[in-house]
Amino acid sequence: MTGRRMLYTAILMAAGAAAVLFLLYYQPIKDWQTTQYSTGGYANPQILVEPDWLEQNRDKADVRVIDVRPKAQYDEDHIPGAANIDYRLLQTSLGGGSGTVSPGDFGNIVGAVGVTPATTVVLYDASDSLDAALPFWVFEYYGHGDVRVLNGGLQRWVTHGRPTDKVAPKFQQAIYNVAVHEDRIASADWVLQHLNDSNVKILDVRMPKEYTGEIRNSKRGGHIPGAVNVEWSTAMNPDGTFKSADKLLKMYRDAGVALDKEVVVYCQSGHRASHGYLVLRLLGYPNVRVYNRSWSEWGNRSDLPIER
């Protein structure tokens, strides 16, 4: 009996130990697998939404889906219930260069589709988020608290078997009070004053031949002194989705764009720069600005220094 009791005791102890191990390790492993699948390892995964999430949430009263393509494309087909704000409405022309829509005009544009500062805004374009990125930055510049982007755009929505329609919904006009975040934007004077600041890194997201001056889209070719070049499109997979966090972080770190730096992103007009801003925000860079007038201003001003 003693031997049998000892055997029973050993079995019970082993079963208890197995149960403890199960409770300790099973749930974290499950959570880790789910997190990695749904976030790609990003520091701010909520910025990107997947088609499944959007299908489940697009009809909620506090969610507004916005198609940023030109109206003619929107009219052909779009995600059901989506509003349309052509991304180009959020840029202006200033003295031959580019600029950003005024706070008042921005409030009127987004208020017209029922957006308030409390709305969860989900932006999408055709595929690679280049056009969605400009409104993303403008929304954040004007203080919107919850703005997101559909990973892979309309193309991925369709390939996932999700519906589209041609109906343009009507929205009740909302009042949108803008809260400008000056720490999201850089002027030429700001960049000039920080050229020798070791805590600031300037990121040029144009094509390499624009960076070197071989391709010139302004009076002068080249780049802002000290800027590093990582073309915006290198952040994307062939299907228009974003690369994983580890690949993106390596790419930027190899270029000297560290997380502890304040990063200023520029291109020719601020369009591609907004995409760089979106990627860095996704990765958790805490201090990122867009030089919105970019090379369309810097390259046309003879009083500003350049490198080639």
* 286/156 Cα distance (integer angstroms): 29
Backbone angles phi, psi at 147, to 5 degrees: -125, 135
Among residues 227, 239, 235, 253, the alpha carbon closest in space to that of 306 is found at 227
Q: Would you call 264 helix, strand, or coil by DSSP?
A: strand
* 117/139 Cα distance (integer angstroms): 10
**Given 134, 267, 283, 290, the catalytic residue:** 267
Torsion of CA 217, 219, 224, 230, to 10 degrees: 10
Q: End-to-end distance of the chain based on CA atoms, in angstroms?
A: 90
**Bridge partners, residue 186, by sequence:** none
Backbone angles phi, psi at 223, to 5 degrees: -150, 170
85 by Cβ neighbours in 10 Å (0-12 / 13-18 / 19+) ranks as: buried
1 by Cβ neighbours in 10 Å (0-12 / 13-18 / 19+) ranks as: exposed
* 91-94 and 120-124 beta bridge pairing: unpaired
> Is 219 noted as a catalytic residue in this protein?
no
Residues classed as catalytic:
267
